[in-house]
Amino acid sequence: MPIKCYKIIFLLLFICQPSYAEQSVVVVLHGIARSSSHMEPLVEVLTHNGYKVVNVDYPSTDYTMSQLVDIIYDDIKTDISQAPKVHFIGYSMGGIMVRGVLHKYRMDNIGRVIQLAAPNGGSEVADAVHDNPVYQAIYGPAGQELTTTSSQHIKELVGDHCYYELGVIAGNSSIDPVSSLIIPGDDDGKVAVLRTHVEGMKDHIVVAASHTFFPSNQVVHQQVLHFLEFGKFDKAH
């Protein structure tokens, strides 16, 4: 076969090769007392950039976090079993759920993992209101596990180390001045920046985003896409 024909075949194979995004599944988990619809702005961005997205609805206020780990895995295991690469993005408590699932159900095809405003060390806001009957009714058993005094429980749930590349995005813009008064240091209105850190994480960045609006924040979207592709955040801007 002439050399020119080989070049043409190689070029066609290169053009037809699926992109990194097209070969990947991204599992997205919402926060406590939320639903998958809250994550739709981020899902649209991921889909537009070629990722297949599994936007999970799970009963975040009906069970303990340990129980939710099993519920979530049972829901996603079919979608992720055949994917060449599976990434995870978890918002708020969903970030803890992601790490809990990956700790209990180790995955060989794991890609990159991103936490958005996750209270890895608990939240002082939960400390202040966890005994309130209204809070208990709204946030259920898992809400009781988000206090700073439950941080050891969280560590046991998610394991001692990350066998995957973990990127953590924290926020320092609050629309809840009352909550921010009881949170030490910079915070997003619900979670202190210092309590988002994880030992062994690959990268960490703080953006001007409030806790509630993390999933719709454009800077968050840009950083998510950058970490998924390069394994680090874009700190040049």
**Domain 22-230 class?**
alpha beta
Residue 223, sorted as left (phi over 0), alpha (psi -120 to 50) or beta, turns out to be: alpha
Is the model's pLDDT at 228 over the cut of 90? yes
Which pLDDT score, from 0 to 100, does residue 5 have?
A: 54
Which pLDDT score, from 0 to 100, does residue 19 have?
A: 52
pTM: 0.90
Residue range 147-180, pLDDT digits in tens: 999 988 999 999 988 999 999 999 999 999 999 9
C-alpha 162/C-alpha 77 separation (Å) is 20
Which pLDDT score, from 0 to 100, does residue 9 have?
A: 45
Q: Where are the domains of the chain?
A: 22-230
Percent of the chain at pLDDT above 90? 86
| Sequence letter at residue 101 | V
Q: What is the token pair recorded at 214?
A: 């993390």
Is the model's pLDDT at 52 over the cut of 60? yes
